[in-house]
Every structure is written in C-alpha cells, then in structure tokens.
C-alpha cells in the first residue's frame, strides 16, 4: 500500500529507456498536420482466474501518470502484464510475467489467447496481446510482487462482485482489465466455469 509520496519533481525528458517522444509532421488528405507521439513497446496482459477462490487475481501498483492527474489515486488495479521487450514468444513473456508478478507457474499449453488491441491510440498506438489462464494453489511457487523494486500487490476479486467493481469509479482500473472481465462473463459457460 502506498502511504507516503515525497520529493515529487517533473523534468523534461531528454533521454529515455522505454519510450521515444516524437514530433510528427505529415499531410492528411492534402492538409498539413502536426502530432506529438511516443514510440513504446507492445505488451502482454493476462486475466488470471483462481478456480479454488472463484476469483480473479489482479495486481495493484502505484502509477505516477495516474497520480499526477489525481492525487487521490495512489494505486491502480490492473491485469498481470509486461512489455514485449525481448526476443521470445508473446506467450513466453506472459508466462514469465505471471511468475514474476503473481508467483504462479502456468504452463504454456494452459495459456489461452483472447485477442489483441491497440492502447493509447492518441499518443503511442502500442499493441496489447490479451491472454487468459486458470490458476490454483498447486501452481503457487512464490509470493510474487514483481522483480527489482516494482512493489506490486496482489488482489483477489471474487467474480460475484466483479461487475460492481468494473463500474466503481472510485477504483482506478485499466480498460484492458474491464474488457477482459466482460469477456470472461460472456464466455464463462464455454470455459466450464
């Protein structure tokens, strides 16, 4: 839980590890246009359903861009996710993120692709690849929480309360999480759950 945020400063970004700010000039139907954009990595995200708990497993973490827009929001609810920043399959990245962030060992054959979509279309247009996996306590290998200093908290959300949660505007969450939960509700019977 975030209890204290201190020494907050903002600076102009001159060099970057993960994003590349750009000014783009182009003609669209003969009309000159200018746009500010950011090149960023694509990502994977995974909706995890814990069968024994009848609950989704979400991650909670502090996101400075959200906090800069609303100082009352000290964490967001998200799907387990990660950047596509290495030369391995999307599925392998998803499996690694489930392990790192949530502490569960999911086999590749138990990972189901839901769809892909574009995020932040006005600024980066990066692509997110959405997956689904069922987990249980037999797959738990460690506490999770991310690597290095990610400070990720795990949050189980009983599916009986998920629709209420989706529309609760006091809980900051991503559109990908909301879409994934609706996908699950629509496909629950086909999933045998």
**pLDDT, block means (10 residues), the chain with 193 residues:** 68 76 87 88 97 97 92 94 96 98 97 96 93 97 89 95 94 96 95 88
Per-residue pLDDT reduced to its tens digit, 52-90? 999 999 999 999 999 999 999 999 999 999 999 999 999
Predicted TM-score of the model (pTM) = 0.90
Cβ-proximal residues to 149 (8 Å cutoff; 6+ apart), any chain = none
**CA–CA gap between residue 98 and residue 47 (Å, rounded):** 10
Helices (H), 54-105: 64-69, 90-97
112 touches 92 (CB < 8 A): no
State the pLDDT at residue 31.
Answer: 87
C-alpha count within 13 angstroms, C-beta hemisphere, residue 181 = 23
Q: Beta strands 55-61 and 76-78: pairing type?
A: antiparallel
pLDDT score recorded for residue 186: 95
**Cα angle value 178/143/141 (rounded, 5°):** 100
Determine the Cα–Cα distance for residues 31 and 64; give it in Å rounded to an integer: 36
Which of 182, 43, 163, 46 is CA-nearest to residue 101? 46
At 1 the pLDDT is: 56
């Amino acid at each position: 839980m975030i209890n204290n945020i201190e020494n907050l400063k903002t600076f102009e970004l001159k060099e970057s590890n993960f994003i590349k700010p750009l000014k783009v000039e182009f003609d669209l139907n003969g009309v000159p246009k200018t746009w500010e954009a950011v090149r960023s990595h694509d990502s994977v995200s995974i909706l995890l359903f814990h069968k024994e708990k009848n609950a989704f497993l979400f991650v909670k973490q502090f996101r400075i861009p959200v906090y800069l827009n609303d100082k009352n929001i000290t964490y967001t609810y998200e799907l387990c996710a990660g950047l596509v920043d290495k030369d391995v399959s999307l599925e392998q990245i998803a499996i690694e993120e489930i392990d790192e962030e949530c502490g569960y060992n999911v086999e590749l054959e138990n990972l189901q692709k839901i769809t892909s979509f574009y995020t932040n279309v006005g600024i980066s247009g990066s692509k997110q690849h959405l997956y689904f996996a069922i987990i249980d306590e037999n797959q738990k290998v460690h506490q999770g929480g991310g690597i290095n200093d990610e400070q990720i908290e795990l949050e189980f959300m009983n599916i009986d309360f998920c629709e209420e949660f989706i529309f609760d505007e006091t809980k900051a969450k991503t559109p990908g999480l909301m879409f994934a939960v609706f996908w699950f509700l629509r496909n629950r019977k086909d999933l045998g759950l």
